[in-house]
């Protein structure tokens, strides 16, 4: 699969209020002192970040399947022309090779920015990530590390991707001490978080919401900037219930918050951004205020990262909670084609859950 | 070549044993030595005792395997050192000459074909045993595949299908390989091999229903378009992750072996997928477990935008077989007759000798990778045009059957327009057919639906009644 606006057609049918307002709703405050920014979509913001990464560090490399001509989602467009084929190149079609190679490159003090064409295809590299990248530093007593490693992969629903072009495998990697997992929600966030991930001295798995590659547009500063990892952000303040999410699901949750507000429920929405190590304090502070928590993600509910958040917050806020922690997530089935709209944690499912949690 | 190797190794072993009889008693690696000689003797010499009806291929195959006898051309002089090493796998002689095996042979492995570009039978290929009936069916199916591809591709462009991917340029590999197999052979395809299903009798409506993921789709609307599968036709359902089917094919083949079936497993793969770790696992397992599996690698030059020059630096795929101990052949994938011959023989060897065979078919992906791809972004138009015209596999085969008096222009026109009408009709039907019911979202995750899924189904049904606007109207409750 490649890209194409047409693929979003179906999803738009059942996200009636659309996503075009995403930028405004989610505007971040990082660049207040900078010259006005132009509007870009998410894949262009990623592309900018990669340009900056290669430009600012002569030891940075970008590689993966089909990245030479710009990648199937166009994120690496123009990089090979600009920085040459020794720094931006196609690899043979082998994910374990891509990540293993990247670990070695990173271990020599380089920034290895590897692309896995779809998150669904990261599993052949699972061993390299879980047993190698994550433990490279620890097992050597910090003699060696592969901190310069960043693995980018498009994840999540896309309208008709079905089993193998839609998965959200973030929870697998959240179970691996030594890795960081980062997921941006919008173009501006994507650029700043990707640059931080690339420059972070730890291996990072960076999942890009492919549903938003073209659809999400907002003002993105053209200069080099970084957004902090492991810092969640309250992107909508409220007093009755805390909602926690990441990536593309935040736009669905935002719609639910708006609808809930019409019914007099004030929702606080938090973008977790970094899933491990995650910012418990921000979530805890919010739940202490609202007394209720709802987590939503596209990945199947069972064993999803929502379970970890729920458990941690129950540990910390048990006496403050006024209702059970709610999870609105993907179903415990593989990601289906025709049934995608049924599988998804839709706005109305989130909305119903907000209401039942508040009215518990 | 394997025949030659086997024989010559036996000869070498015998003479070594005579000279150094004490090894037999004293060698620390004795078990390996005996296992190697026993495997040599158990190898069925080919083709001497082959009672197969395919005997007429022997000449040709033997010629091409001789040409591939690469060990002959390796730069080793005969050893004069008598202290040969008894090592697992057989005796290894010593040499005082320090010689690295070169990274490649001087000459590339030749490509077996029997029809030239004009569809004329090459002199010396005694291979026109294909019956008129089979030849006509092969041609009919290649044309059907072409027409299907054209209509479905257009339908996707018009927004009537979510996704499609053509086999354009690879019709001969699709159909002629299928024709060389029997229905009992189990197929594990990559995704650009719908022709195998077509040959086995998958109907146009069955194809269309899968593309629409409607009630007629055996996959129950769960997978993306083109992920066909048919238990009835021994065609294992397509999976998008590349190369995963290769080790699986070996497991299937091993089962056929243990059940003493007159059948093999046939795994298709692409040049790109050959870079995956599972390719290595599949070939190595097949060799070690002596599994009756035929690996067919469609080397079409491209893996999406990645040219084979960025994929591997070997002489293609065919040479990899030898490293695993697998007999291999390179065939012109655009010569249907050659593909038919090579796969028939490969199948015969795989089953009678219980061994894997690797076939590399040289071809070209004439279409875009899929409907999500624009291949003019990364490859020259002239290249596409050349393969589409000069090297067109369908035209080449047509020339041959026309010269045989087995096909006419009139039949051609009629066939094409009739198939087109039929495909369009299946689209009209497929579009209107309702989707699989909600229950199919939850079934088959396990053999029996566990309680978490039963709860989720109950909740979903309530949601669907409450918010009908959120859900497709053609999925029945
Ligand atoms: C494990 C895995 N990685 C990546 C992909 C994405 N992908 C789908 S097809 C393809 C190219 C395959 O090329 P090749 O094997 O040569 O087959 P062809 O398309 O040429 O028939 C890629 C990279 C995938 N499906 N599975
Ligand atoms: Mg290919």
Which of chain A's residues have a Cβ under 8 Å away from the Cβ of B452?
302, 332
Over residues A14-51, the pLDDT tens digits come to 333 333 333 334 444 444 456 668 999 999 999 999 99
Q: Is B333 in the pocket of ligand 1 (CB under 6 A)?
A: no
Element (H, E) at A40: strand A38-41
Using an 8 Å CB-CB cutoff, list chain B residues near A332: 445, 452-453, 456
Q: What percent of chain A has pLDDT over 90?
A: 90
* Cα B172 from Cα B69, distance rounded (Å): 27
CB pairs under 8 A between A and B: 143
Q: Atom 21 in ligand 1: which residue has the minimum CA distance?
A: B270
Question: Which residue's CA is the nearest one to ligand 1's atom 3?
Answer: A121
Both tokens of B453, joined, read: 């899924």
Q: Residue B222 and residue A4: Cβ atoms within 8 Å?
A: no
pLDDT exceeds cutoff 60 at B364 = yes
Question: What is the pLDDT at residue B94?
Answer: 94
Which residue in the list A51, A65, A95, A297 is annotated as catalytic? A95
Quote the CA–CA distance of B374 and B371 in Å, as a whole number: 8
Q: Give the residue on B whose Cα is nearest the Cα of A341.
A: B471
- Determine whether B369 is an active site residue: yes
**A89 Cβ inside 6 Å of ligand 1:** no
Q: Write the CB contacts of A30 (distance below 8 Å, at least 6 apart in sequence).
A: A188, A192, A221, A225, A227
How confident is the model over B45-60, as pLDDT tens digits? Answer: 333 333 333 333 333 3
B385 to each of A356, B388, B421, B422, B437, how far by Cα in Å? 62, 5, 27, 28, 45
The response to whether residue A123 sits with its C-beta less than 6 Å from ligand 1 reads no
User: Each residue of A108-160: pLDDT tens digit?
Assistant: 999 999 999 999 999 999 999 999 999 999 999 999 999 999 999 999 999 99
Query: Catalytic site residue A51?
Result: no
Is A200 in contact with A211 (CB distance < 8 Å)? no
Q: Would you state the pLDDT for residue A10?
A: 33
| Alpha carbon distances (Å) from A239 to A290, A292, A353, B44, B471 | 5, 9, 16, 80, 31
Distance (Å) from CA B393 to ligand 2 centroid: 17
Question: Is residue B305 annotated as a catalytic residue, yes or no?
Answer: no
According to the model, what pLDDT value does residue B126 have? 62
Give, for ligand 1, the residue of A114, A121, A124, A169 to mutate: max count of ligand atoms closer than 8 Å to Cβ: A121
If you measure CA to CA, which chain B residue comes closest to A122?
B241
- The C-alpha angle with vertex A260 and arms to A258 and A261, in degrees rounded to 5, equals 65
- Kindly report the nearest CA distance between residue B12 and chain A, in angstroms: 40
Neighbours of ion ligand 2 (CB under 5 A): B 270-272, 300, 303
The 3-state DSSP class for residue B83 equals strand
Q: Which of residues 32-91 of A touch B (CB under 8 A)?
A: 65-66, 68-70, 72, 89-91
Q: Who wins on pLDDT, B173 or A17? A: B173
Q: Does A339 touch chain B (CB under 8 A)?
A: yes
Q: Which helix (H) or strand (E) holds B175?
A: helix B171-179
Interface with chain B: mutation pick from A162, A340, A352, highest number of B CBs within 10 Å: A162
Q: How is residue B158 annotated by DSSP? A: T
The dihedral built from the CA positions of residue B401, B407, B412 and B416, taken in this order, carries a sign that is negative
The residue contributing the CA closest to ligand 1 atom 26 is: B241
Instruction: Please list the alpha-helical segments (H only) found in B259-408.
Output: 277-288, 318-324, 336-352, 381-388, 393-403
* B243 Cα–ligand 1 center, Å: 9
- A51-65, B50-64, B367-381: range with lowest mean pLDDT: B50-64
| Range of weakest confidence among A60-74, A317-331, B80-94, B168-182 | B80-94
- pTM score, two decimals? 0.89
- Please identify among residues 188-207 of chain A the ones whose CB lies closer than 8 Å to any CB of chain B: none
Q: Which of 242-301 (A) contact B at CB < 8 A?
A: none
Rounded Cα gap, residues A130 and A175, in angstroms: 9
Give the whole-angstrom CA distance, residue B362 versus residue B331. 6
Q: What is the pLDDT of residues A226-245, one digit of tens each?
A: 999 999 999 999 999 999 99
Give pLDDT, residue B36: 37
For position B129, what pLDDT does the model report? 80
pLDDT at A181: 98
Q: Which two tokens stand for residue A339?
A: 């049934």
> For position A12, what pLDDT does the model report?
33
Percent composition of chain B: helix, strand, coil (DSSP 3-state, to 5): 50, 10, 40
Other C-beta atoms closer than 10 Å to the C-beta of B95 total 13
What would the pLDDT profile of B142-162 be if each residue is shown by its tens digit? 999 999 999 999 999 999 999
Beta bridge partners, B188, equal B236, B267
Q: Is A17 on the interface with B (CB under 8 A)?
A: no
Predicted local distance difference test score (pLDDT) of residue A35:
63
Selecting from A4, A124, A343 the residue whose C-beta is nearest the C-beta of B276 gives A124
Mean pLDDT value of segment B335-360: 98
Give residue B125's pLDDT: 74
Q: Which residue, B38, B48, B46, B49, is CA-closest to B10?
A: B38
More confident residue, B71 or B452: B452
Q: What's the mean pLDDT when you consider all of chain A? A: 92
Determine the Cα–Cα distance for residues B131 and B86; give it in Å rounded to an integer. Answer: 51
| B365 CB within 6 A, ligand 1 | yes
ipTM metric: 0.91
Q: What sign results for the dihedral spanned by CA atoms B93, B95, B101, B107?
A: negative
pLDDT-above-90 percentage for chain B: 81
> What would the mean pLDDT of A70-90 be, rounded to a whole number?
98
Place B72 in a pLDDT band, splitting at 50, 70 and 90. Answer: low
Per-residue pLDDT, A54? 98
Identified catalytic residue from B31, B240, B255, B418: B240
- CA–CA separation, A114 vs A63, rounded Å? 5
What would the pLDDT profile of B192-215 be if each residue is shown by its tens digit? 999 999 999 999 999 999 999 999
**A59 or B2, greater pLDDT:** A59
Q: Does the pLDDT value for residue B16 go beyond 50? A: no
| B400: helix, strand or coil | helix
């Amino acid at each position: 699969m490649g890209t194409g606006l047409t693929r979003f057609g179906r999803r738009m049918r059942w996200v009636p209020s659309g996503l075009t307002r995403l930028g405004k709703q989610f505007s971040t405050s990082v660049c207040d002192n900078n010259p006005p920014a132009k509007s870009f979509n998410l894949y262009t913001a990623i592309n900018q970040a990669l340009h900056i990464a290669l430009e600012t560090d002569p030891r940075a490399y970008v590689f993966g399947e089909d990245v030479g001509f710009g990648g199937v989602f166009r994120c690496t467009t123009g990089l090979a022309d600009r920085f040459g084929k020794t720094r931006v190149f196609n690899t043979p079609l082998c994910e374990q090779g891509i990540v293993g190679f990247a670990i070695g490159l990173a271990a020599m003090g380089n920034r290895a920015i590897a692309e896995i064409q779809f998150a669904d295809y990261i599993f052949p590299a699972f061993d390299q990530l879980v047993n190698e990248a994550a433990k490279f530093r620890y097992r050597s007593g910090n003699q060696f590390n592969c901190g310069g490693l960043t693995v980018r992969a498009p994840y999540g629903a896309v309208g008709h991707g079905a089993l193998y072009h839609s998965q959200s495998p973030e929870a697998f990697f959240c179970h691996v001490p030594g890795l960081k997992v980062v997921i941006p929600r919008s173009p501006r966030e994507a650029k700043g978080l990707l640059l931080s991930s690339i420059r972070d001295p730890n291996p990072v798995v960076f999942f890009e919401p492919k549903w938003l590659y073209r659809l999400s547009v907002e003002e993105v500063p053209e200069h080099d900037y970084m957004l902090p990892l492991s810092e969640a952000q309250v992107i909508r303040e409220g007093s009755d219930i805390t909602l926690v999410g990441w990536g593309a699901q935040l736009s669905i949750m935002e719609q639910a918050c708006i609808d809930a507000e019409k019914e007099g429920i004030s929702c606080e929405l938090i973008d977790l951004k970094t899933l491990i190590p995650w910012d418990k304090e921000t979530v805890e502070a919010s739940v202490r205020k609202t007394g209720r928590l709802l987590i939503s993600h596209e990945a199947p509910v069972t064993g999803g990262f929502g379970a970890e958040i729920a458990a941690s917050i129950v540990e910390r806020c048990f006496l403050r909670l006024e209702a059970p922690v709610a999870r609105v997530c993907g179903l415990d089935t593989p990601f289906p084609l025709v049934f995608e709209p049924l599988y998804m944690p839709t706005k109305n499912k989130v909305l119903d859950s907000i209401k039942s949690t508040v009215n518990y | 070549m394997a025949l030659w190797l086997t024989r010559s190794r036996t000869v070498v072993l015998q003479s070594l044993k005579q000279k150094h009889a004490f090894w037999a008693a004293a060698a620390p690696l004795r078990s390996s030595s005996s296992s190697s000689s026993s495997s040599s003797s158990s190898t069925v010499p080919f083709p001497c005792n082959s009672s197969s009806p395919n005997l007429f291929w022997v000449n040709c195959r033997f010629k091409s395997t001789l040409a591939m006898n690469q060990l002959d051309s390796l730069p080793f002089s005969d050893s004069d050192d008598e202290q040969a090493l008894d090592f697992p796998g057989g005796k290894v002689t010593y040499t005082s000459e320090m010689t690295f095996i070169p990274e490649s042979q001087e000459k590339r492995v030749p490509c077996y074909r029997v029809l030239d570009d004009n569809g004329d039978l090459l002199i010396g290929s005694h291979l026109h045993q294909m019956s008129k009936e089979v030849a006509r069916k092969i041609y009919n199916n290649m044309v059907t595949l072409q027409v299907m591809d054209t209509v479905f591709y257009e339908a996707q462009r018009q927004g009537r299908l979510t996704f499609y991917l053509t086999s354009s340029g690879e019709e001969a590999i699709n159909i002629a390989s299928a024709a060389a197999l029997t229905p009992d052979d189990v197929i594990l395809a990559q995704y650009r091999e719908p022709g195998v299903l077509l040959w086995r009798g998958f109907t146009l409506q069955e194809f269309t229903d899968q593309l629409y993921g409607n009630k007629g789709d055996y996959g129950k609307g769960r997978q993306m378009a083109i992920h066909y599968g048919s238990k009835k036709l021994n065609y294992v359902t397509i999976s998008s992750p590349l190369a995963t089917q290769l080790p699986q094919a070996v497991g299937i083949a091993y089962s056929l072996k243990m059940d003493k079936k007159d059948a093999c497993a046939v795994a298709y793969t692409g040049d790109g997928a050959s870079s995956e770790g599972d390719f290595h696992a599949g070939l190595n397992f097949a060799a070690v477990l002596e599994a009756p599996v035929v690996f067919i690698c469609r080397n079409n030059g491209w893996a999406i935008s990645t040219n084979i020059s960025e994929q591997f630096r070997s002489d293609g795929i065919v040479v990899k077989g030898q490293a695993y101990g697998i007999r291999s052949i390179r065939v012109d994938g655009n010569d249907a007759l050659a593909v038919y011959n090579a796969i028939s023989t490969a199948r015969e060897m795989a089953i009678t000798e219980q061994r894997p065979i690797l076939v590399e078919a040289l071809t070209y992906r004439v279409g875009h990778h899929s409907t999500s791809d624009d291949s003019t972004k990364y490859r020259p138009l002239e290249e596409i045009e050349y393969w589409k015209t000069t090297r067109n596999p369908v035209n080449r085969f047509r020339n041959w059957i026309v010269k045989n008096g087995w096909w006419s222009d009139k039949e051609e026109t009629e066939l094409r327009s009739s198939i087109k009408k039929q495909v369009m009709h299946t689209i009209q039907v497929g579009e209107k057919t309702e989707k699989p019911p909600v229950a199919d979202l939850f079934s088959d995750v396990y053999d029996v639906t566990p309680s978490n899924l039963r709860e989720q189904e109950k909740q979903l049904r309530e949601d669907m009644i409450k918010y009908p606007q959120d859900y497709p109207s053609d999925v029945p409750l």
